[in-house]
Structure 1
Amino acid sequence: MNRREVLKNTSLFLGYSLSAGALSELFIACQKEAQLNWKPVFLSNNQANLIAEITETILPKTETPGAKELGVPQFIDKMLKDMLSEEDQKAFVEDLEKFDKSCEEAYKKPFIECTQAEREAFLLKADKEGGKLPPSAWGITLVAKPAPISFFRRLKSLTLLGYYTSEKVGKEILSYDPIPGEFIACMPLDKVGNAWNE
């Protein structure tokens, strides 16, 4: 069974390679409940729609697939449900609401109703204000008492994780060798090519 079938059989959640291309660029602003072509397992429809638009602004569709096309919002939804404690889930949802309110204060409208230029400007500002992640190695923070990680920095990290670990990106964009060949200890950089996903 391939990854796509697994995802379909688990309520369209994991989003590594699931196509979510049917989501429109913008949902009708007057709708009270967002319309999605997938059912969130943790977030509400409106929250999931907001996450979808944020992730697509971070990683829009170009020559390569965008975040929504690869199902990154579904991945984030599932990660929030399965990997966070109840306390962290509550904090994430509160931070998501604060994020949208701060966008309303800046542009007099929620993030979903903003133009692409406004979205990009707002996310660039959030990225700049978010500071840097503390140094880490293999997922272990190397600082005794790191500063709290901003909401946007956490969301951006989840977005990149979902995108770069997706099957499509791993097999079609990054170099992929399911059965690695010989070990070459020293190779000229110009012969390396794409980054390796494994």
Structure 2
Amino acid sequence: MKRRTALKNVLFSAAGMLTLPAWGNAWNSSTFTQISSIFTKSQAEILDILVDALIPSSEIIGAKDLGTSAFINRMLADCYETEVQENFKIGLETANNLAKESFSKPLADCDKIQRKELLIKLSSTNNAQQKDFFSLLKQLTVLGYTTSEYVLTKHYNYVMAPGHYFGCVNV
């Protein structure tokens, strides 16, 4: 290896090591929530209602309280194509329209039992687009909920580095 190449690699590595802590500290919960929403205000409210209906709050925190809607927004914006995003938005509007048809009131005014009935209708429909919407909604809600810090630490007893390392012991 040439001396100049080695020196250049060492300098770039040192610069990376100096900037890495500053970059890592920039990521926190407040920067996560600053991402602009792909949903309109009414669509975001419908999403909150459906997420809360899927995993409601009880003696433990529910999906809405853990911010699973923000997780779904981020996942859809970063990991899914525009076509899937648009179908998801249409699915949210369809859920609200289905509530209006079934219960003569918007989804926001429905009680928990009516919301549960609506979820059952969405899951058992013959419409492929509605079935895909509900399947994606359910998958992302469960993924966002089960991978949240609260669930991992309080219910799964997840520990980042389990056990203790004893480096120098007599064999």
Same fold (TM over 0.5): yes
Matched, 1:97 2:88: no
Give me the whole-angstrom Cα distance separating, in 2, the residues matched to 1:88 and 1:76: 13
Matched, 1:172 2:168: no
Give me the whole-angstrom Cα distance separating, in 2, the residues matched to 1:123 and 1:10: 28
Give the gaps of 5 or more residues in structure 1.
Answer: 14-39, 132-146, 183-198
8 A contact 2:33–2:70 mirrored in 1: no
Q: Report the AA paired with residue 73 of structure 1.
A: S
Give me the whole-angstrom Cα distance separating, in 1, the residues matched to 2:126 and 2:157: 31
Moved over 3 A (4+): 10-13, 128-131
Cα gap change, 1:10 to 1:176, in 2 (>3 Å): closer
Give me the whole-angstrom Cα distance separating, in 2, the residues matched to 1:161 and 1:12: 21
Q: CA deviation at 1:166?
A: 0.4
TM-score (norm 2): 0.71
Percentage of pairs with the same residue: 31
Give the gaps of 5 or more residues in structure 2.
Answer: 1-20, 165-171
Q: CA deviation at 1:75?
A: 0.7
Give me the whole-angstrom Cα distance separating, in 2, the residues matched to 1:174 and 1:122: 30
Q: Which has the larger radius of gyration?
A: 2
8 A contact 1:12–1:74 mirrored in 2: no
After TM superposition, the structure 1 = structure 2 runs for residues 1-198 of structure 1, keeping only pairs within 5 Å, are 6-12=28-34, 40-129=36-125, 150-181=132-163
8 A contact 1:76–1:159 mirrored in 2: yes
Give me the whole-angstrom Cα distance separating, in 1, the residues matched to 2:133 and 2:140: 11
Give me the whole-angstrom Cα distance separating, in 2, the residues matched to 1:130 and 1:66: 29
Give me the whole-angstrom Cα distance separating, in 2, the residues matched to 1:178 and 1:110: 44
The 3-state SS of whatever aligns with 1:150 is: helix
Q: CA deviation at 1:110?
A: 1.5
Q: Report the AA paired with residue 10 of structure 1.
A: F
The 3-state SS of whatever aligns with 1:98 is: helix
Cα gap change, 1:180 to 1:130, in 2 (>3 Å): farther
Q: Which is richer in helix?
A: 2
- Which stretch of the first structure deviates more once superposed, 106-115 or 148-157? 148-157
Deviations along 1:135-189, whole A, 9 cap, x unmatched?
Answer: xxxxxxxxxxxx875211110111101000101111111131322459xxxxxxx
RMSD: 2.7
